[in-house]
Amino acid sequence: MRRRDLGGVGVGLVLALASCASTEPPKPAAPVAPKVEHPEERSQAMPTVVANPLLADWTGPFGGVPPFDKVDVKDFKPALEAGMADSLATLDRIAADPTPATFDNTIAAMERAGRTLDRVAAVYGVWSSTMKTPDFQAVEVEMEPKLAAYQDQITQNERLFRRVEAVYSSPDKAKLTPEQQRLTWVVWKNFVHAGAKLDAAAKTRVAAINQRLAALYTQFSLNLLADEESYVLYLKSESDLAGLPEPVRGSCSAAAERLGHKGEWAITNTRSSMDPFLTYSDRRDLREKVWRTYYSRGDNKDAHDNSKGITEILRLRAERAKLLGFPTHAHWRLDDAMAKTPEEAMRLMMQVWPSAVARVHQEVHDMQAVADKEHAKLKIAPWDYRYYAEKVRKAKYDLDMNEVKLYLQLDKLREGMFWAAGQLYGFTFTKVPATAAVPVYQEDITVYEVKDEGGKHVGLWYFDPYARTGKNSGAWMNSYRSQERFDRPIDAIVSNNANFVKPKPGEPVLISWDDAVTMFHEFGHALHGLNSNVTYPSLSGTSVPRDYVEFPSQLNENWLSTPEVLSRFAVDVNGHSIPKALVDKIEKARTFNQGFAVTEYLSAAIIDMKLHLAGDTPIDPDAFERDELGKLGMPAEVVMRHRTPQFGHVFSGDGYSAGYYSYLWSEVLDHDAFEAFQQAGGPYDKAVAKRLRDTVMSVGNTVDPQAAYQSFRGRGPEVAAYLRSKGFPIGPTKQAK
């Protein structure tokens, strides 16, 4: 999931783009950090900006929609600057209020601040992740440090913090509603977490660090995007295509034509292109070339190499953590997470690691046996893993995932997601016609109106499915507007974004099983936003701790494989449903290759945590990764899902730094929660679905996540269901803390 909070000053901190999948042209110079002004030096009114459409209230149907049709890149800088100035002036007036601080005149007033910037930031975030043209990249390089400085000007405003603390410490707080008390705590906690209690010198240094980090994060993303767009393998002959099934060939042909190489086949440097090629290509030499190119992104010792930037990022994060009173960046990041401490997160990861590695060794043994039987005369290498795993799958389970792919049409699976959401939450999705005055930022985007079971409007869902130049790779969810009931009811606007290869006119998009799972995952984030039913925007939807935000999305993956979805929506181009025998094979092979899947992910999560537990020790990313994986006993045949130089989750922002473990943490919740459905009336049990909506999906951050989960499940989460789902051995049942 990706999320950017630039307004929302009640909660405060900038959450740089962070994703559920990975992400990211001449190298720009690092910008000069802007001056951090004192409050009294700032204008008390927003400067006059002539006819900038980004600053206007959203108009049109559905309570207003983003003005994507009016965007001009040159408008972003003045709009962001005007939005920040307006927000800071409003906050200065709150800070200078001579009356005693109360919830209404301080906390609630802060929730009203920054509305203009919220609107600008929503559109800016879309361009940052999906329309990153060279002229926009220049804006981003200049503005990211300024946006970081803006956040520091809020959290370092002493008069404002004194008022926040007065409300937080007042005995009158007990008279507030539970949601108001939660909001007060969240605001106070974010100020303290950002350094509001530091002395002047420390505040100045933290602000300088934040601005430098913002520049480094932007450069990391640009370097990664450059490597993803610059390296393309063009296949020119039939022999180059050996082993590739027709749907993969078609996607490669379409990609090549899009890149100006009509008549050839392109393997782009993205996971969605790399993965099927490594799975099916008979050409071991080309598999190795594609594998090395993909896993060398950001690590080519050229102008786009990320190693030096990572070293500086880690050093600055460690320094900032110490200034803020924490031993390491990991301790600072997890201070307000569900796990609470990095030690607790590491405990869970290391509880799973030995079983995952043991399974990898068994998987490699099975693959090597197939290779030997075929007289391949090779030792399984990382670029062989997917290829021979597919052969083992066919031999062991008589399951050909390419056969499954014939029944996985993108449009039909989207309908399946809608249907399942209707069964669970009562939602209906209706495509908004082009005549409805809802502009989009690119012709391939579609918009759907969401209504509840009573026919009431709930929100809008935008879908951006195809890869294109300037768009980050991977898949993610964005929130353009959060639901709230503060001064008036405001409905959610959310989006899902993917990177499928756009088909030729009239052809369906056939996707892999893994891609289908990812679609349901990201749609789970969207459903989290759409189900929100809270008062204050800072507590709305997905604005929850990082290691809890992935819970609703990972839980939603489970409905893809239900017979109800597959029988209705897994259909081939002739309308034939996927055969039950094939569905049975999928279920039988459910735990197949889980050693690879878990080890690939978990190694990245462990290295992320170890990098940030190393404190201020100087780190060479390549050497650290190699040495620590060696200590862990990382199988030679598997590589981290995101190698350090391309780890956008961790180094394109603070969002998932020391937090990539969140997927495992949330997956434990997910499997434990889905068992509640299975133990009741099945995946679509109405009573359990209502309890999920009432206790988890609708409450946002108005309730502590541990308490919310306890309300849903009747107890804390247990690890056993996760281990069962992977086919790993289960020791004594333990609750996750």
The residues annotated with a catalytic role in the active site are 522
Residue with tokens 């690590």: 299
Three-state SS for 103-118 is: HHHHHHHHHHCCHHHH
Residue partners of 217: CB distance under 8 A and separation at least 6: 16, 144, 313, 651, 652, 653, 654
State the Cα–Cα distance between residues 415 and 418, nearest whole angstrom: 5
State the Cα–Cα distance between residues 455 and 508, nearest whole angstrom: 31
* Closest of 315, 271, 251 to residue 24, by C-alpha: 271
* Closest of 19, 7, 21, 33 to residue 515, by C-alpha: 21
Q: How many helices (H) and strands (E) does the chain have?
A: 27, 7
DSSP 142-196: HHHHHHHHHHHHHHT-HHHHHHHHHHHH-GGGGGS-HHHHHHHHHHHHHHHHHTT
Map residue 561 onto helix, strand or coil: coil
State the Cα–Cα distance between residues 368 and 218, nearest whole angstrom: 43
DSSP 614: S
> How many angstroms from the chain centroid is the CA of residue 153?
27
Q: For the stretch 653-681, what's the b/e string if a residue is b when 16 or more beta carbons lie within 10 angstroms of its beta carbon?
A: bbbbbbbbbbbbbbbbbbbbbbbbbeeee
- Token pair, residue 314, equals 């880690």
- Token pair, residue 491, equals 């409905």
Q: How many CB atoms lie within 10 A of CB 379?
A: 12
State the Cα–Cα distance between residues 573 and 565, nearest whole angstrom: 17
State the Cα–Cα distance between residues 256 and 252, nearest whole angstrom: 6
Query: Rg of the chain's alpha carbons, rounded to an integer?
Result: 25
Q: Residues 356, 361, 364, 366: what is their CA dihedral angle, to the nearest 10 degrees?
A: -100
The answer to whether 404 and 577 have CB atoms below 8 angstroms apart is no
